[in-house]
Amino acid sequence: MTRRLHIGGTSKVQGWELLNANPAPYVDHICNANDLSQFDSNTFEQIYASHVVEHFDYKGELLRTLEEWNRVLVPGGEVLISVPDLDILSALMLQKDKFSGDDRFAIMRMIFGGHVDKYDYYVVGLNEEFLGSFLRTAGYVNIRRVKSLGLFRDTSTMAFKGVAISLNMIATKQIG
């Protein structure tokens, strides 16, 4: 049986088990995404996480989390990750002639989190170079940027004033 894990999702989708730190009727597994010890190694064909990994501290926690996700993936399984793209958001923030102070404040919230609950704080800014490096170090291969992950209508497709702000990447657990 194929198992797929959607980390941080907010609605039930057939064929996906949902993991979230906050309990809700649609959540299958309530825990922090940095500890998947409840799952055996080589359990999931795919792991999907949109705007989740920026919540993990770059001084060890992010790498350990990506390694943990690698552990529970089957060989050849894929991790699909979307994060706020620090390069895009930084460029938008610098356009003072184009965006108002309120607009730039909204961009700042996309960089640091909305702070709507105790989990909505970002502790790392990621771009293709940084996320790719973390993924390589965690043992993933075939790391690639894609325009869209094409699975859910969520933050992976988020845009600000017509500008897509998410970095979407796919990486594979090495076989053998």
46 has which bridge partners?
4, 78
pTM of the model: 0.95
pLDDT value at 148 more than 90 = yes
Give the C-alpha separation, 173 to 41, whole Å.
12
One of 3.40.630.30, 3.40.50.300, 3.30.70.920, 3.40.50.150 is the CATH number of 4-84+123-156+166-173, namely: 3.40.50.150
Mean pLDDT over all residues of the chain? Answer: 95
pLDDT digits (tens, 9 = 90+) for 24-45: 999 999 999 999 999 999 999 9
What region, left, alpha or beta, does residue 152 occupy, with left being phi > 0 and alpha being psi -120 to 50 degrees?
beta
How confident is residue 176, by pLDDT bands cut at 50, 70 and 90?
confident
Give the C-alpha separation, 60 to 152, whole Å.
29
Rounded mean pLDDT of 126-134? 98
pLDDT digits (tens, 9 = 90+) for 63-105: 999 999 999 999 999 999 999 999 999 999 999 999 999 999 9
**Alpha helices per DSSP H over 2-127:** 61-72, 86-93, 101-112
How confident is residue 119, by pLDDT bands cut at 50, 70 and 90?
confident
pLDDT of 75: 98
Cα angle value 115/24/113 (rounded, 5°) = 15
Give the start-to-end residue ranges of the domains of the chain.
4-84+123-156+166-173
Is 52 in contact with 23 (CB distance < 8 Å)?
A: no
pLDDT of 153: 86
The number of beta carbons lying within 10 Å of the beta carbon of residue 128 is 17
Give the C-alpha separation, 55 to 125, whole Å.
9
The number of beta carbons lying within 10 Å of the beta carbon of residue 115 is 11
pLDDT of 8: 94
Going through the chain in order, the beta strands assigned E by DSSP cover 4-7, 17-20, 29-30, 44-50, 73-84, 140-146, 159-160, 163-164, 166-173
pLDDT of 157: 93
pLDDT of 5: 98
